[in-house]
Structure 1
């Protein structure tokens, strides 16, 4: 038995956003948003998974959107690679889902809350080791929440989740493990199978139940994401190399300035602050030249003339 990875957006849509996924999505949302409490009893999946659409439409179709029984809207997104302005995009999508509820002249009382639940395969918040983080509007100093809890952001950061199969205890643990590790499984473990909705999710994720076209599309999406992550990693490494190179050069400049100032002071006594400032902004090449030329200086005026010539 082999399972597709829920981290691929296409697979995520198939597992959590299909016509038969209501129970799966209810269990998952209750686990993440409500700590395992059975608050959500029913929901409607908007734009459910359709193989033909998923293979031809743009990436936004692959998000999962649901309307809860109280009218609240939930948007669930799986993001594998970090992209530019990602955090802004999440907020934009949240705000758009909220404002799109109203037509011209309609009453604000008809607005219902919107929750954006984003799963990332990269670390977004270095300030905490928590796997799940929730953001709401609240007063900055007293920390009390805004009267209408209309907008909420939830994030699951998969790299922070370190628990093994035997360590899973809560419902949220099991769902996060499923998303992160499903592709590594060859059977349905008892620990996951005891949750009926996760067993159903693994059944949907079973590659044996997918068409050749679906499997090929999943493979292409997975390779695309791997390539994107590879490009990002390469760019970061090149940036670090460049930074180290710049750091070494800055260190050489600092050492050259200190050495030349010591030599000049030893030869001419105290160097005027104006000249010192001019020396401190010289390039490494000019500092090397000064290190050779000052041996020919007979007085401080020679240094002054040399600096003036460099400044022209």
Structure 2
């Protein structure tokens, strides 16, 4: 029977990658994404998952904050939508995490790297096929490295297409992307057979725990509903924006035909759909009266 728990729901995502009792999963994930010559051996969770905290704050941000055994500061999150100003927000988080290390009397050389990893269920950079995007300080032309002190990594899940069943998945990042995309609809045994690592047996076990524990399932379902409601809200806003856009074009055309200055786009956008509809109807009436006259 399929696991039935979606690991891209942030509650499940943090259970898998933000629990001290399953720190080996976080280490495996970080080594896959960062792919450094220095292998991470351990992590310290700075905001471990606490049921009590979550129950008291249903809108809690379930990111994962940790420090690795080299002292680097890490923030891992999943986004099921593409919020506005995402690059700016990620930059702010990483910069704040870096600056926040500084204490009186401390030297710049004592600061450790600050790294943000954002898993996206949307595509922010459709112009490139890369699933994993790695942003750091580099010169534009010569490719010279200034610093790795600030890093932002994006994993754009929709770009990944799993190979045929008889083709092994060997890339560490692809294994995690496959798990995040497919675990809900597979069994633990199928995942292990496909990915060839016991790591994913443990990860699947965390999802199974959520599925069979009534309180865990309740918290997961509540978070899933919140996630779906947010997506519906964004879809409705997008649909309204498209509808407004259609009205804007027609209104400005009618104003032009009437020989009057066209209304500023920003002013029209500030109006409700009902107001735009009424304005269009009034302009059409005036145009008809003019033509009849």
TM-score band, normalised by shorter chain: 0.7 to 0.9
Give the TM-score taking structure 1 as reference length. 0.76
Q: Is the 8 A contact 2:16 2:203 kept in 1?
A: yes
Over 3 Å counting, the alpha-carbon distance change for 1:225 and 1:164 in structure 2 is farther
| SS of aligned partner of 2:189 | coil
**Quick one: distance in 2 between partners of 1:10 and 1:281?**
53
**Structure 1 runs not aligned, ≥5 long:** 258-278, 294-312
Matched, 1:171 2:172: yes
CA displacement 1:92-133 (0-9 Å, x = unmatched): 111111111122332222100011000111222233232111
| SS of aligned partner of 2:183 | helix
Number of the residue aligned with 1:15: 16
Q: Is the 8 A contact 1:192 1:198 kept in 2?
A: no
Matched, 1:188 2:189: yes
| SS of aligned partner of 1:235 | helix
- Which of the pair has more CA radius of gyration? 1
| SS of aligned partner of 2:174 | helix
CA displacement 1:41-88 (0-9 Å, x = unmatched): 332222322322333347566211221111111110111123343332
| SS of aligned partner of 1:21 | helix
Number of the residue aligned with 1:261: none
Over 3 Å counting, the alpha-carbon distance change for 1:284 and 1:239 in structure 2 is same
Over 3 Å counting, the alpha-carbon distance change for 1:180 and 1:56 in structure 2 is farther
Matched, 1:113 2:104: no
Give runs of ≥4 in structure 1 deviating > 6 Å: none
Over 3 Å counting, the alpha-carbon distance change for 1:113 and 1:289 in structure 2 is same
**Structure 2 runs not aligned, ≥5 long:** 263-282
Number of the residue aligned with 2:149: 150
Number of the residue aligned with 2:266: none
Over 3 Å counting, the alpha-carbon distance change for 1:119 and 1:50 in structure 2 is same
Alignment size in residue pairs: 269
**Quick one: distance in 2 between partners of 1:82 and 1:243?**
21
Q: Is the 8 A contact 1:193 1:199 kept in 2?
A: no
**Quick one: distance in 2 between partners of 1:252 and 1:164?**
53
Deviation at 1:152, TM superposition (A): 0.4
Number of the residue aligned with 2:291: 291
**Quick one: distance in 1 between partners of 2:255 and 2:243?**
18
**Quick one: distance in 2 between partners of 1:244 and 1:191?**
51
Number of the residue aligned with 2:104: 104
- Single out whichever of 175-184 and 213-222 deviates more from structure 2: 175-184
Q: Aligned-residue CA RMSD in angstroms?
A: 2.7
**Out of 230, 236, 239, which is 1:237 matched to?**
239
Q: Is the 8 A contact 1:67 1:73 kept in 2?
A: yes
Over 3 Å counting, the alpha-carbon distance change for 1:222 and 1:211 in structure 2 is same
